[in-house]
Amino acid sequence: MSASRIAYTAFVAFLSVVATLLVVSLVSEDDAYVPPEKKGPNEGRAVFTLDEVREHDHAESCWKVIDGVVYDVTDYIPRHPSDEDAFLRWCGREATQAWSGHSARAESMLRDYRIGALAGHEPKEEPPAETEPAISTETLTGAAEALTRRQGSVLLSLGSGEYLDGVYRGNFIDRGHIQVSIQFRLEDGKLHDLGYRHLYYRDVDYLKLDDDEPLQAVMRQHEQILSQLEGQPLTDIFRLYRPAEVVDDIDGYSGATLRGAKILHAIRDGLNRGVYSW
Amino acid sequence: MKGRYPGDLIITLVVALPLLAALPRIARQLEWSWAALCGVLAQGSGILALSTFLAAAMLSVRLPGADRWFGGLVRIWAIHRLLGVCAFVLIMVHVIFIALAPLPVSVDASVASLFPPLAQWPLWLGWAGFAVMVVFIAPTFNFFGTLHYQRWKRLHLLSAPALVLGLAHGMVFAPDTTLWWLLGLLALAAIIWRKGLSPFLARKPYRVDSVDFLARDVVELNLLPEGNGIAWQPGQFVYLTPMESSLAAGYREEHPYTIASSPGDRFMRIGIKGIGDATEALLDIKPGARVRVEGPYGTFLNEPGIHSRQLWIGGGIGITPFVSGAREWRDGHPTATDVALVYLANRPERAYYLDEMSAIADASDGIEVFAHYSSTEGVLTQDYLQAQCPDFREREVYLCGPLGMIRHVEALLLRAGVPRQRIHTEAFDFL
């Protein structure tokens, strides 16, 4: 086949694929977002008792409980690198102990098999942010003091670079309002091009403030947070638990309302959603 | 495309370096998930597409003498064309993998990743570059029929903006742009030299001293340099640009022609057959007319380390490189020791160089000339070669002529057991 024929054939095939995608996208009426997680017979069930878990103690259906979370690892059995008997021994049981020592990579793979929580280990709702006192260095615990980038990796339950490079968008929503919308780009585990798409609190749209508004100081602090994160490793977002480290002025008029945790959570929300665009 | 040349290493490096440099970064993203695999393949194909495109652009530089490093200009154009096809296909592969990555999520997500909001302009730069590429590459591959040579050449200039768009698109996503800057500037320098500078700096002024009429539609121009001329080897060719606005066509248009004179000749003699607008106009060129000559190019008949027993097969105007070789023989500086020349023509009056070639053969040892007329003897056969030149299988074979003739003779030689690496061809089918 001549080069011209190959180029032409590839071009026609290419146009067909792109056109098909466009047409399917246009004619499909269902705009609903389909989550990428696996849907099994237990879809919608979030909480299981240990008795229910015990029924799945064999190779045909193998559930394990690790740190209060129930995983259906049946599909993973053929892919498990080590001895199959050792792997099956923990089916239908509390397997936290057996799991300990696995890599961050294994941790991230495990998440794909999560089907729910063990009764008594349901995730607790976080208290509303507004009721928390303003964050100051005094309120931080000793553990937070010792936060390093390494521990940040643990908090993300990932090694650096585990998130795909790309542009992410995330929100912090509370009390019926989107309070923070953020966009950022990840490259080699580093944050770039951070920007607010929306910043709102108590009926004030911070992105539409006039220059002379007193609340501009808050806006400036928020901007400082982003400029501090620019080019930094992803794990640096945990510094936002201590915003005094990342902005100039936490006292005075604005100090009471600056909550780095909102931005931190908006970023984590973006990460959870996955890459918005490449 | 056969053989190995030092220039091949340069091409391989240009094509492979950016991908090798990015490999550690890409490998870190590799995991057994659909999205990650597609992402890795999309990045890999994108990087390779851009470097291939840049290599193709660099090869358009056409520096006289430097083409020897790549096995001659004809081979360079073949590689240039191949790299162009590869870049074109790789870009499409790149786009398809970008579309495939989010496909498990939804078709909408896939379409959104291909056609994002305009705010994500770097992605649209890529699309713009590809669109321009389709416009300039389509006529090259005859997507929509053939195009006039000069119009095709002008359209091919769009490769420069396509290259800049592609480069800008790729560099936005590259963490380290040093290598892209280097390769990009080299590629653009090649285009600027070829299209902007070489017409003024590389073309040497010559004057038509006399015109010999060889047949109704064939002339031989005898050119003298107005200043320093160029030195050539037998079998090489030049780009000739007529500077006479009185010509019916082809004024200031360059076309490739083989040099027919011996390297020791003070005239550069060029045999021209009227086969298109520009060549037909040249049949009427008058002594005193000014032309510009750029070259020489090519390694036909003058590759180093070649077997000294040779078989030359020339058809039609494709006899000219062998005319140069025979005239060199007459001047007493042959590169080969034993040559059999088979002159293929339709009938005796179309063998316009035959008398001169026979005279040289009669006067010299080691060179024989056979004329083969298709009107009486049909197409060239193995039996004919066997009868005239029984040891043709052991010789280095050189073929020049119309594409149909080359295909026929090449197939015949291969069937007769001549190894492919000993068959050398020269056909200007897309210069």
Picking from A14, A22, A164, the nearest residue to B96 by CB comes out as: A14
- Are A112 and A133 within one domain? no
- Which of A92-101, A150-159, A236-245, B356-365 is predicted most confidently? B356-365
pLDDT at A257 over 70: no
Give the mean pLDDT of B35-55.
94
Question: Taking a contact as any Cβ pair under 8 Å apart, which residues of chain B between 109 and 128 contact chain A?
Answer: 110-114, 116, 120, 123
- Are A192 and A90 within one domain? no
Judged by a CB distance cut-off of 8 A, whether residue B145 touches chain A is no
* Residues B165 and B125 sit within 8 Å (Cβ to Cβ): yes
**Closest C-alpha to A235, from A81, A55, A111, A104:** A104
- Are A136 and A268 within one domain? yes
**Chain B residue nearest residue A166, CA to CA:** B173
- Where among A93, A118, A143 does a domain terminate? A118
- Where among A67, A95, A118 does a domain terminate? A118
Residue A192 belongs to a domain: yes
Reported confidence tier of residue A139, pLDDT bands at 50, 70, 90: very low
What is the pLDDT at residue A244?
65
Residue A18 belongs to a domain: no
Task: Tell me which residue range forms the domain holding A171.
Answer: 129-273
Residue A17 belongs to a domain: no
What is the pLDDT at residue A229?
87
The secondary structure element, H or E, covering residue A149 is helix A149-155
In order of their start, the domains of chain B are 6-198 (1.20.120), 204-297 (2.40.30.10), 309-426 (3.40.50.80)
Residue B164, classified by CB atoms within 10 Å of its CB into exposed (0-12), middle (13-18) or buried (19+), is middle
Reported confidence tier of residue A41, pLDDT bands at 50, 70, 90: very low
- Are A193 and A242 within one domain? yes
What is the pLDDT at residue A194?
92
Lowest mean pLDDT: which of A13-27, B266-280, B304-318?
B304-318
- Are A84 and A160 within one domain? no
The answer to whether the Cβ–Cβ distance between A34 and B142 falls below 8 Å is: no
- Are A69 and A196 within one domain? no
What is the pLDDT at residue A246?
63
Residue A35 belongs to a domain: no
- Are A263 and A195 within one domain? yes
- Are A256 and A170 within one domain? yes
Residue A95 maps to which CATH number?
3.10.120.10
What is the pLDDT at residue B50?
97
Counted domains in chain A: 2
What is the pLDDT at residue A153?
53
The answer to whether the Cβ–Cβ distance between A165 and B29 falls below 8 Å is: yes
In angstroms, what CA-CA distances link A72 with A46, B72, B343?
13, 64, 80
Reported confidence tier of residue A29, pLDDT bands at 50, 70, 90: low
Residue A149 belongs to a domain: yes
Give the C-alpha separation, A184 to A230, whole Å: 9
- Are A137 and A266 within one domain? yes
- Are A262 and A216 within one domain? yes
pLDDT at B82 over 90: yes
The answer to whether the Cβ–Cβ distance between A21 and B107 falls below 8 Å is: yes
Instruction: Tell the residue number behind the tokens 């023509």, with chain if given.
Output: B345
**Chain B residue nearest residue A159, CA to CA:** B28
- Are A138 and A268 within one domain? yes
What is the pLDDT at residue B116?
87
pLDDT at B102 over 90: no
The answer to whether the Cβ–Cβ distance between B120 and A277 falls below 8 Å is: yes
- Where among A96, A118, A140 does a domain terminate? A118
**Burial letters A195-213, b for 16+ CB under 10 A, else e:** ebebbbbeeeebeeeeeee
**Closest C-alpha to B425, from B340, B312, B323:** B312
